[in-house]
């Protein structure tokens, strides 16, 4: 009898082991389920060639020119010559010059050994001087941080103020070395905003800029920030500045984006119907015409992608999904633009959520 029991136990052992294994698998799946696959809208977007969130560039609104990327790479390795040559070659193309200066200034705020070498080799080079001014302003804002004032320490504010005050001297020197260049004054807008310069001072600064380049996109964007209620103006002042600038600007200058930015900066409602009023529809239509004209005459304009991002967002809110999808296709892969970049680390994910919803709605409308 004992032998028989041993035989039966031996025969049953594999069944017991199998049962325990299946039970373990079940419990593991119950408490640690496999991650879900991509949802249907994400798959639909990928089939259109649109990129997932982890492949979105969060530092640019559009691909930078290859020559700019090469110059920045060279500067990181200590070679300033390619950057100097690019700024020299841009000459009086002020919009490109200002944008490239901002890129180089951002890099110099992180590590400026290459800029110090440039300044030593060419002490009175106006290009090196304006990059230095830009880098000091960028460093000041980095010291302050992006959080609201109530979450910013006294030490941060003190360092911020000292750096902006130092930047004023550098800006004045850069302007003196190249009197026709509006770029130093465009940089100074961020000093005026940070230090709380008066409206009269801002008006004087604005005259210096527009007398040199009346439709400078980057300058208008920065000035609108100054006039916003969250900084040194009000909702009324911001809307008035945006409206007047857009009305005066020629089609293709991209300044039709200003009323849309003013709207976004002061939007306190969750009612999407407010984004589909006749006035808002007209603003978006004007932006579409502006973008088309710019794309035909100056497809590499640094502000074009910024306008397209905002158009995609408002077209989506207006249920104009096919038109929104067209704009998303043109900017996909780069998300450092309104409204996405106000979401911080969630910028790419937020962009993809809105874009994928647009893909779904456009498909359903067919």
The pLDDT tens digits for 176-233 are 999 999 999 999 999 999 999 999 999 999 999 999 999 999 999 999 999 999 999 9
Q: Is the peptide bond before 339 cis (omega within 30 degrees of 0)?
A: yes
Quote the mean pLDDT of the chain. Answer: 88
* Rounded CA separation 292/326 (Å): 12
Phi (first) and psi of residue 207, to 5 degrees: -65, -40
Q: How is the chain split into domains, by residue range? A: 37-61+237-365, 67-213
Condensed to tens digits (0 to 9), the pLDDT of residues 53-75 reads 999 999 999 999 999 999 999 99
Does position 159 have pLDDT exceeding 50, yes or no? yes
* Rounded CA separation 61/336 (Å): 5
**143 — pLDDT class (breaks 50, 70, 90):** confident
**41 — pLDDT class (breaks 50, 70, 90):** confident
* Rounded CA separation 242/70 (Å): 36
> Furthest-apart CA pair in the chain: how many Å?
109
Does position 4 have pLDDT exceeding 70, yes or no? no
| Contact indicator for 350, 330 with CB cutoff of 8 Å | no
* Rounded CA separation 350/147 (Å): 19
**8 — pLDDT class (breaks 50, 70, 90):** very low
Both tokens of 339, joined, read 């409204």
Q: Other C-beta atoms within 10 Å of 289: how many?
A: 13
Condensed to tens digits (0 to 9), the pLDDT of residues 72-112 reads 999 999 999 999 999 999 889 999 999 999 999 999 999 99
pLDDT of residue 9: 44
Q: Global pTM?
A: 0.86
* Rounded CA separation 167/164 (Å): 5
What percent of the chain stands above pLDDT 90?
78
Does position 24 have pLDDT exceeding 50, yes or no? no
SS3 171: helix
pLDDT of residue 157: 57
Place of tokens 């992608």: 305
């Amino acid at each position: 009898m004992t032998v028989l029991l041993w035989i039966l136990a031996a025969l049953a052992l594999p069944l017991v082991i199998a049962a325990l294994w299946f039970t373990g698998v079940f419990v593991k799946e119950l408490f640690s389920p496999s991650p879900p696959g991509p949802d249907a809208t994400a798959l639909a977007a990928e089939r259109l060639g649109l990129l997932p969130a982890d492949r979105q560039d969060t530092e640019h609104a559009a691909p930078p020119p290859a020559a700019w990327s090469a110059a920045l790479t060279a500067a990181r390795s200590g070679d300033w010559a390619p950057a100097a040559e690019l700024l020299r070659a841009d000459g009086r193309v002020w919009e490109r010059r200002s944008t490239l200066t901002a890129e180089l200034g951002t890099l110099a705020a992180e590590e400026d050994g290459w800029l110090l070498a440039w300044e030593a080799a060419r002490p009175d080079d106006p290009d090196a001087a304006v990059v230095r001014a830009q880098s000091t302003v960028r460093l000041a804002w980095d010291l302050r941080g992006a959080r609201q004032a109530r979450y910013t320490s006294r030490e941060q504010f003190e360092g911020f103020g000292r750096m902006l005050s130092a930047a004023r001297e550098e800006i004045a020197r850069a302007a003196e070395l190249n009197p026709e260049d509006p770029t130093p004054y465009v940089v100074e807008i961020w000093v005026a905003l940070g230090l709380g310069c008066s409206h009269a001072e801002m008006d004087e600064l604005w005259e210096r800029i527009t007398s040199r380049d009346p439709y400078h996109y980057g300058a208008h964007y920065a000035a609108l920030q100054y006039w916003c209620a969250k900084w040194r103006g009000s909702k009324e002042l911001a809307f008035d500045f945006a409206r007047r600038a857009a009305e005066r600007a020629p089609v293709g200058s991209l300044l039709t984006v200003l009323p849309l930015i003013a709207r976004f900066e002061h939007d306190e409602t969750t009612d999407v119907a407010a984004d589909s009023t006749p006035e808002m529809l007209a603003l978006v239509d004007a932006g579409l015409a502006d973008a088309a004209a710019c794309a035909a005459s100056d497809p590499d304009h640094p502000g074009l992608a910024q306008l397209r991002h905002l158009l995609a967002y408002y077209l989506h809110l207006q249920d104009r999904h096919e038109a929104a999808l067209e704009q998303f296709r043109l900017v996909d892969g780069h998300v450092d633009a309104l409204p996405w970049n106000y979401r911080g680390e969630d910028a790419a994910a937020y962009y993809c959520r809105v874009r994928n919803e647009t893909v779904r709605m456009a498909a359903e409308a067919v």
